[in-house]
Amino acid sequence: MTTGISPSYRFASIVSFLLHPFVLVVPLFMIISIRFAPTAYEGVLCGIVIILGSAAAPFAFIRRGVSRGRWSDHDISRREQRLVPFLYTIGCMVCAFAFLLLLEAPLELLATFAGMVCAVAAALLVTQLARWKISLHLIGVTGTVLTLALLLTPLAYWLAPLIVLVGWARWRVGAHTLSQALAGVALAATVTFLVYQAFGL
């Protein structure tokens, strides 16, 4: 029996899931935390704080809202529904940042996390003031690639095709237009470079 779902759509859905911002947060910040923290223990601890504040808590909040019918899906696909989840996510991230300061987290980690907070805040402004649904997936994957390239090794630039892949996937599933995807890339790149410059990195 045919489902009417094409292989390309199914593949795009898998890409969107595997490279979701909440998923990318885990390996990215664990890598940065362990790489720059004085000890592996401190690195794991800082990584856990970030994962809880920027992924686990926001995802649990969104999932609860979806189950209660407040929001359409876990991606908050409808622009008009994004305000409350965005504000909750930013609040959680600010709390996590405060804990990182108490833990005396390394500068590289603080800068990376600050960039993430700024990117989410900027996306919120675009969504609410411009009433335009910029792509969070593209912000996430672009920020991840640039962070790895700038802080670890330029070889990470070879991961850039993932940005194109995610852009195609979000377009294929009907979540974003090309301009919304490109805007996500531009916002992530701008924020990443400006924040690292501000932190002297």
Read off the pLDDT of residues 40-51 as tens digits, 9 standing for 90 and up. 899 999 999 999
- pLDDT score for 75: 62
Q: What is the pLDDT of residues 71-106, one digit of tens each?
A: 776 666 666 767 788 788 889 999 999 999 999 999
Residue with tokens 């593209």: 138
- pLDDT score for 1: 43
Q: What is the dihedral of CA 105, 111, 31, 175, to 10 degrees?
A: 140
Q: Mean of the pLDDT values across residues 42-71?
A: 86
| Cβ neighbourhood burial of 44 (10 Å; 0-12, 13-18, 19+) | middle
Q: What is the pLDDT of residues 108-160, one digit of tens each?
A: 999 999 999 999 899 888 887 777 888 889 999 999 999 999 999 999 999 99
Helix axis angle for 21-36 and 136-151, nearest 10°, is 20
Helix axis angle for 107-129 and 21-36, nearest 10°, is 160
Is residue 81 within 8 Å of 71, Cβ to Cβ? yes
The number of C-alpha atoms within 13 Å of 2 and in the hemisphere containing its C-beta is 4
The number of C-alpha atoms within 13 Å of 147 and in the hemisphere containing its C-beta is 29
Q: What is the pLDDT of residues 3-19, one digit of tens each?
A: 577 888 899 999 999 99
pTM here is: 0.86
